[in-house]
Amino acid sequence: MKTIQLQQLTKSFGETEVIRGIDVTIEAGEFFALVGPSGCGKSTMLRMIAGLESITSGTLRIDGVAANGMKPSERHLSMVFQNYALYPHMTVEKNITFGLHTKGLTKLEQRERCLMAADTLGLTDYLKRKPRELSGGQRQRVALARAIVTEAPICLMDEPLSNLDAKLRAKMRSEIRQLQRKLGLTMIYVTHDQVEAMTMADRIMLLNEGEVQQVGKPLDLYNKPANTFVASFIGSPPMNLAEVTRQEKGWMASDGRMFHPNAMTDVSAATLGVRPEQIKPANEDVTFYAELKNIEVLGTETILAFDVGGNEWLAKWPGQWPLNVGEKVACYVEPKQMSLFDADGQRIEPKHPKLFEALEVFQ
Amino acid sequence: MTIALPREKVRARLSDAASGLLYLSPSIILFGVFLVYPLLRTMYLSFFRTDTQGTPLEFVGIGHYSNLFTSVAFWQSIQATVGFVLLTVPLTILIALGLALLANEKLKGIGIFRTAFSATMGMSVAASSVIWMFIYNPSIGIFNRFLEAIGASGVQWLLDPQYALLSVSLATVWMNIGFTFLILLGGLQNIDRTLYESADIAGTSYWTQLRAITIPMLSPTLFFVGIISLINAFQTFGQIDLLTKGGPTNATNVIVYAIYKDAFINYNVGSASAQAVLLFIAVLLLTWLQFKLVERKVHYQ
């Protein structure tokens, strides 16, 4: 198990800077997800760690040793590519064992390791086949087998599930996670799918335009997004946002609705954020009334769409609600569950959360 | 018992066939006039004695063929052709592959080299032949100048029966490299980069990657280039005509040149036609053999 340390890592292609000063330490045995929209630099960052892309400035340390100039093979890592990078002219067995001779393994040892990896991934019956005779999911498994057969302590994965159908993806998600735990791999996993990141990772780094937006545990990113980008990227459906201005008694959206979040700030204009499931049907206190634009009854939950301050908001109510379009419903949001972002989109932390809780009780 | 098609269906099928033929007509006409008709006409003429205009006079059966198989000149031209093919095809492919591998590296200014290596493709056989005529010139040519500079005696490159075929082959290799290089470079660039990246991470050497990834992945392109080069080599004419005219003492009298001489200089159209038919059969057989033998080793994706 090895740690990976990135210190002020940057990458430029000519004049354009695609990675801007990234600092992070990935702990040994950690499942670390790199998430972001396409073109955010996450794959470039992974390739820099793998040694397939040169580092423009900054230091990469693997287990404390500066690794900037190391060849990919000297970094003791394995990598799974998005297209699996299988050799079409080799059998599955050859694909899995390709390159093992460089590690000084005899033919017999190579075969043993191959059989073990094939057994782990359920490929034993397919060892003599060529990749084109396999299904997408089986090819994916060959790529995984190739990564684990080297017994490298670090494993890099570049969107490994994006070519699979939804059902298989869910299955492979948990399989990869179990494999990583079982082998104690330090895993860096690139994906654009926030669901994958949320369900698999110990920690997530969210990138946008080459800059780190937030690093933390999945639930930290979900509950306390550092900025509006994180808020709108993580979660499905994403966090509802609306521009608000400060009034004497709270914050007002452009349509006159008033909100009373816990966060305190001196700025006069901000962005308010509420997660869809935190908008609840009101019992006594009413935060606002919503005129329904659309209703989706999904069986376990009902998704309501309505406008707040010119933005479409979604609310997720548990259960099945027999509502009609155009109907007005009363909604309630707990003040402490409202997020507030300043004009630059940065999260405003409540200054005295304890005090506010006390006040709520008092009211 | 046959079931009669309803009349509308028959009509629809006929009009389908008609419009299909209409779409195909440009290539049918072109191939028919310039390929199929001459081929059939050549086969026909190979069984006749003709006058100097190529008008058939007398049916001679396989007379031309049996004459050819006993003619020394014919066997000489076969020998020259086979020698020429064996000298040019492997060498062209090997050199072009080496250049393509070099030019496929990601280096600054590699475009200059790619252009230079493929440049001979843009040169006519005539122009290149003139260049090589100067290079081989016994008194002012660069080869002999060089030999004299290191104290060796000059060589009559195109006039010495020992060297003539080699010299013409060398010039041909140079002329063919451009095209072969370009096709092979295209093939190399079509190989997925990630295959090499994965091999880099596995730690395999350049030569292992060349043997285990590049050559198998390039095999369809190599196969294609092999067939095209082989057919081209069998049909070489221009540089022979310009550099040696089939001489000296028939050393470079390859089959197509022999056909040309028989047909248009000796006006022996029947015999020339018979040789043309034999060449056609030989190339057909070789290409078929290549498909049978090599294709099994080719990895199509």
- Domains of chain B and CATH, by start: 7-45 (no CATH), 65-297 (1.10.3720.10)
Q: A50–B201: do the CB atoms touch at under 8 Å?
A: yes
Q: B199–A99: do the CB atoms touch at under 8 Å?
A: yes
Chain A residues within an 8 Å CB radius of B301: 88, 132
- Read out DSSP for A245-290? EEETTEEEETTS-EE--S---S-SEEEEEE-GGG-EE-SS--SEEE
Q: B301–A88: do the CB atoms touch at under 8 Å?
A: yes
- Read out DSSP for A120-188? HTT-GGGTTS-GGGS-HHHHHHHHHHHHHHTT-SEEEEESTTTTS-HHHHHHHHHHHHHHHHHHT-EEE
User: Does the pLDDT value for residue A134 go beyond 70?
Assistant: yes
pLDDT tens-digit series, residues A56-85: 999 999 988 988 989 998 999 999 999 999
pLDDT bracket for residue A206 (50, 70, 90): very high
Instruction: List for chain A the helix, strand, coil content (%; round to 5).
Output: 30, 35, 35
Q: A150–B216: do the CB atoms touch at under 8 Å?
A: no
- Read out DSSP for B38-49? HHHHHHHHTTEE
CA distances from B39 to A19, A97, B192, B233, B269 (A): 65, 54, 43, 20, 14
Q: Nearest CA of chain A to the CA of B101: how many Å?
A: 19
CB nearest to A89's CB, from B198, B205, B216 = B216
Give the residue on B whose Cα is nearest the Cα of A94.
Answer: B212
User: Does the pLDDT value for residue A362 go beyond 80?
Assistant: no
Please say whether the beta carbons of B92 and B177 come within 8 A: yes
Q: Nearest CA of chain A to the CA of B211: how many Å?
A: 12
Give the residue on A whose Cα is nearest the Cα of B194.
Answer: A85
User: Does the pLDDT value for residue A363 go beyond 50?
Assistant: no
Print burial letters for B172-201: b (CB count within 10 Å at least 16), e (below 16).
bbbbbbbbbbbbbbebbeebbebbbbbbbb
Q: B192–A77: do the CB atoms touch at under 8 Å?
A: no
Question: If you count residue pairs, one on A and one on B, with CB atoms under 8 Å apart, how many are there?
Answer: 61
Q: A77–B201: do the CB atoms touch at under 8 Å?
A: yes
Disruptive mutation site among B195, B198, B204, B213 for chain A (greatest number of A CBs within 10 Å): B198
Q: Nearest CA of chain A to the CA of B205: how many Å?
A: 9
Q: B202–A89: do the CB atoms touch at under 8 Å?
A: no
Please say whether the beta carbons of A240 and A257 come within 8 A: no
- CA gap A132, A122 in Å, rounded: 18
Q: Which residue has the higher pLDDT, A13 or B156?
A: A13
Please say whether the beta carbons of B244 and B164 come within 8 A: yes
Cis bond upstream, residue A353 (ω within 30): no
Q: Which residues are within 8 A (CB) of B170 and not within 5 positions of it... i.e. 6 or more apart? A: B132
Cα A341 versus chain centre, distance? 21
Q: Which domains does chain A have, with CATH numbers?
A: 4-223 (3.40.50.300), 237-362 (2.40.50.140)
Please say whether the beta carbons of B205 and A71 come within 8 A: no
Q: B301–A79: do the CB atoms touch at under 8 Å?
A: no
Chain B residues within an 8 Å CB radius of A80: none
Chain B residues within an 8 Å CB radius of A52: 197, 200-201
Chain A residues within an 8 Å CB radius of B217: 88-89
Global ipTM: 0.82
Label residue B137 left, alpha or beta by phi (over 0 means left) and psi (-120 to 50 means alpha): beta
Phi, psi of A53 (to 5 degrees): -130, 135
| Maximum alpha-carbon separation in chain A | 78
Q: Which residues are within 8 A (CB) of B195 and not within 5 positions of it... i.e. 6 or more apart? A: A85, A87, B213, B217
Check residue B154 and report its DSSP letter: P
Residues of A with CB under 8 A from a CB of B: 50-52, 71-74, 77-79, 81, 83, 85, 87-90, 98-100, 102-103, 132, 146, 150
- CA gap A171, B25 in Å, rounded: 55
Please say whether the beta carbons of A197 and A33 come within 8 A: yes
Question: What pLDDT is attached to residue A186?
Answer: 93
- CA gap A103, B203 in Å, rounded: 8
Tell me what the mean pLDDT of segment A167-185 comes to.
90
CB nearest to A85's CB, from B195, B205, B216 = B195
Strand partners, A216: A204
Please say whether the beta carbons of B64 and B274 come within 8 A: yes
Q: Nearest CA of chain B to the CA of A301: how many Å?
A: 43
Chain B residues within an 8 Å CB radius of A14: none
Give the residue on A whose Cα is nearest the Cα of B196.
Answer: A85
Disruptive mutation site among A62, A81, A148 for chain B (greatest number of B CBs within 10 Å): A81
Q: B203–A79: do the CB atoms touch at under 8 Å?
A: no
pLDDT tens-digit series, residues A323-340: 889 999 999 998 888 888
User: Does the pLDDT value for residue A209 go beyond 50?
Assistant: yes
pTM given for the model: 0.81
- CA gap A172, A151 in Å, rounded: 20
Please say whether the beta carbons of A87 and A98 come within 8 A: yes
Identify the sign of the CA torsion B282, B283, B288, B290.
positive
Q: Nearest CA of chain A to the CA of B91: how many Å?
A: 26
Residues of B with CB under 8 A from a CB of A: 192, 194-195, 197-205, 212-213, 216-217, 299, 301
Per-residue pLDDT in tens (0 to 9) along chain B, 301 residues: 556 667 778 888 888 899 999 999 999 999 999 999 999 999 999 999 888 887 888 888 888 898 888 888 889 999 999 999 999 999 999 999 999 999 998 888 899 999 999 988 888 999 999 999 999 888 888 888 888 888 777 788 888 888 888 999 999 999 999 999 999 999 999 999 999 999 999 989 999 999 999 999 998 899 889 989 998 999 898 888 888 887 788 888 888 999 999 888 888 888 899 999 999 999 999 889 888 887 766 766 5
Question: What pLDDT is attached to residue B161?
Answer: 83
